[in-house]
Structure 1
Amino acid sequence: MKKIVILLFILSSANGFAQDALYVRKTINTLTAPLFWGRGYTKDGMKKAADFLSAEYRKIGLSPMGNDFKQGFSFPVNTFPGKMLVEINGKALRPGKDFIISNASPSVKQNGSLQAIDSTHFAVNPNLKVELKDKLTWSVATEVSTETTIEISRKNFTGVPKQLKVEIENQFIQNFQASNVCGLVKGTKYPDSMLVITAHYDHLGGMGKDTYFPGANDNAAGVATLLSLAKYYKANPQPYSIGFICFAGEEAGLMGSRYFVENPLMPLSKIKFLINLDLVGTGESGMTVVNASVYPKAFSLMNKINDEEKLISKINARGKAANSDHYFFTEKGVPAFFIYTQGGPTAYHDVFDQAETLPLTEYKDLFKLIVNFYKTI
């Protein structure tokens, strides 16, 4: 009878993880769909994503940290909602795949001859340049420049750029409205003390009317893992409260996490530990923990759990870095790790970071590692 009970428990746990994996995959597919348009700054992409996450928090049964799940704030951003035309030597190029434009570019409409500066750099004039690149990666600008640089993929272009036709429309938004999405499961013994899990839900949005950046690994995977953990903790309340924060504006310069730290919905001193998830959709080559050398005891504990449970193949240590939403918490004295996985697809800040190619290699093991770490920290 004892063996049957153990077997049923194992089967039940396996089925639970299978269900969670399906939920995570479905969430990533949803967040990377055209409806959310790269969870960015045109076509209401970021707002739609925030609404979706608020609805998921309600379905799961989380409580708001404040009066609402959403914590609103604003920041400046340069956007590209309109025309995105680039022709080189009379051939139209595809946005995102054949070219990208500098993220601080102003509107520009011009037809001119390109002068070679060297083998990879060309210019119509000092304010309009072309550069040949091996890889096209984009980002978000919070200001507008007087210059436009058009980066062209070497893979998709042969010959020498001689003639350029360009028509680009930008729109600078001084006060773009965004929201952090914040919820919690109250602790059974120490409700005023909190363990926190965070992930940014924004990505790069769109470049023109027809091209958007899906952001599957960056960071739909992190958000989906956070939501899966929220489901677990709602069903399994812990002695400490567990907080869940999905940040906006990370790609524009950690805007959402900075705003939260400056306007916290709970005393930051009450945060016992924080884990930030960003780029966690792979794992073939293990994972890295930022702040490992800042909090060596916590890192040693995480490694001990990982070794005992035989979960992640390798955990790399990294020091302090201002490269994701953990940073401003650390600056305020909140113990925090930023976790990202490694290996697998190399798509990053490009149109190829897609749900269908994201392996989620270490989702289950990372989930178990976080749960066990938070049981003992």
Structure 2
Amino acid sequence: MKNFLILFVLLSTSFCYAQDSVYTRKMVNTLSSKEFWGRGYTKDGMKKAADFLAAEYKKLGLIPFSDSYKQDFNFPVNTFPGKMMVQINGKKLIPGKDFIVSNESPGIKQKATLIPIDSLNYQASPFLKVSLKDKLTWSVGTEVGNNTQIQINKKNFTETPKEINVEIENKFIENFKASNVCGLLKGTKYPDSILIITAHYDHLGGMGKDTYFPGANDNAAGIATLLSLAKYYATNPPPFSVGFICFAAEEAGLLGSRYYTQNPLSPLSNIKFLINLDLVGTGEAGMTVVNATVYPKAFSLLNEINDEHKYISKINPRGKAANSDHYFFSEKGVLAFFIYTQGGPTAYHDVFDKPETLPLTEYNDLFKLIVNFNKKIME
């Protein structure tokens, strides 16, 4: 009977983690889908994602930090909701795959001859420039520049650019409304002792009316892992409270997390530790911890747990860096790690960061490592 109970417990634990993997994959697929349009600034992509996350919090049993799951704020952003047409030498290029428009570009409609500046850069006029790139990487612009810049994937276009025909529409939104999505599970014994898990849910949105950036690894994977942890803690209540914050506008310059730390919904002093998850959909080559050298005792504890259970092949230490949403918390004195995985697909800030090619290689091991670390760090 004793052996049967041990086997039952082991099978139950494995089943729990397997179920989490299924749930996580579902969340990655959903958030990266066309419905959410890159969780950005056109077709209500970011708002739809925020609404979805708030509903998921409620379904999992999380309560709001305050009156609402959402913490609203505003910021300026340059968007491209309409026409996105570029022809070079009479050949129509595909947005996202053959070309991108620099994020601060104004709209333009022009036919012109391209004058070479050098072998990689061309100019049609003072207001229109073209460059050839090995890789097309997009980002978010919060202002509008003086000229339109087109970047062309030189692997897909091998001719010498001589003529351009372009029609691009932009729309500058001075006060774009976004929302951090915040939920809480109160601790069974120490409700004022809070562990915070964060991830940004926004991505790059769309470029034109037909092209969007799925953002599977960046950062649907982080959000899916956060939701899986919320699901786990909702059914396994810890003595300490666990807060979950899905940030908006990380891609626009960490604006959501900066706003939260300036307007916290609960005292920052109550946060005992914060774990930020961003780009966690791989893991073949291990993972990296930002702030590892800032908090060596916590990093040593993480490694002790990992060495004992052989979860992740390698954990690389990194120092302080303003490269994700942990940063402004650290600046306010909150102990925080930013975790990202390495290896696997290299798609980043492009249209190829898709759920069907994201392996989630080390999801189960990363999940177990985080749960075990949280238990130890909050003791």
Shorter-chain TM range is over 0.9
CA distance in 2, matches of 1:371, 1:124: 56
Structure 1: gaps of 5 or more residues: none
Number of aligned residue pairs: 377
Give the alignment of 1:246-325 within 5 angstroms. 246-325=246-325
Decide which moves more: 200-209 or 182-191: 182-191
Structure 2: gaps of 5 or more residues: none
- Give the aligned partner of residue 188 of structure 1: 188
Give the alignment of 1:14-53 within 5 angstroms. 14-53=14-53
Give the C-alpha shift of residue 8 in structure 1.
1.2
The one-character-per-residue Cα deviations of 1:159-196 (angstroms, maximum 9, x if unpaired) are 10000111000000000000000001101111012000
The one-character-per-residue Cα deviations of 1:190-217 (angstroms, maximum 9, x if unpaired) are 1012000000000000000000000000
- Give the aligned partner of residue 169 of structure 2: 169
CA distance in 1, matches of 2:192, 2:174: 37
Give the C-alpha shift of residue 32 in structure 1.
0.7
Give the C-alpha shift of residue 255 in structure 1.
0.7
Give the C-alpha shift of residue 344 in structure 1.
0.1
Secondary structure of the 2:150 match is strand
CA distance in 2, matches of 1:151, 1:126: 16
1:129 aligned onto 2:115: no
CA distance in 2, matches of 1:275, 1:147: 40
Under a length normalisation based on structure 1, what TM-score does the superposition of the two structures give? 0.99
CA distance in 2, matches of 1:3, 1:102: 63
CA distance in 2, matches of 1:348, 1:306: 27
The one-character-per-residue Cα deviations of 1:232-265 (angstroms, maximum 9, x if unpaired) are 1111111110000000000000010000000000
CA distance in 2, matches of 1:24, 1:18: 10
CA distance in 2, matches of 1:263, 1:169: 35
CA RMSD of aligned residues (A): 0.6
Give the C-alpha shift of residue 151 in structure 1.
0.5
The one-character-per-residue Cα deviations of 1:53-106 (angstroms, maximum 9, x if unpaired) are 001001100011111101111100000000000000000000000000110000
- Give the aligned partner of residue 11 of structure 1: 11
Secondary structure of the 1:151 match is strand
1:213 aligned onto 2:207: no
Whichever residue aligns with residue 145 of structure 1, its letter is G
Identical pairs, percent: 74
Give the C-alpha shift of residue 376 in structure 1.
0.7
- Give the aligned partner of residue 336 of structure 1: 336
Runs of 4+ with >4 A deviation: none
Whichever residue aligns with residue 152 of structure 2, its letter is I
CA distance in 1, matches of 2:265, 2:237: 21
CA distance in 2, matches of 1:16, 1:190: 26
- Give the aligned partner of residue 371 of structure 1: 371
Secondary structure of the 2:203 match is coil
Give the C-alpha shift of residue 126 in structure 1.
2.5
- Give the aligned partner of residue 355 of structure 2: 355
- Give the aligned partner of residue 99 of structure 1: 99
Secondary structure of the 2:288 match is strand
- Give the aligned partner of residue 79 of structure 2: 79
Whichever residue aligns with residue 150 of structure 2, its letter is I
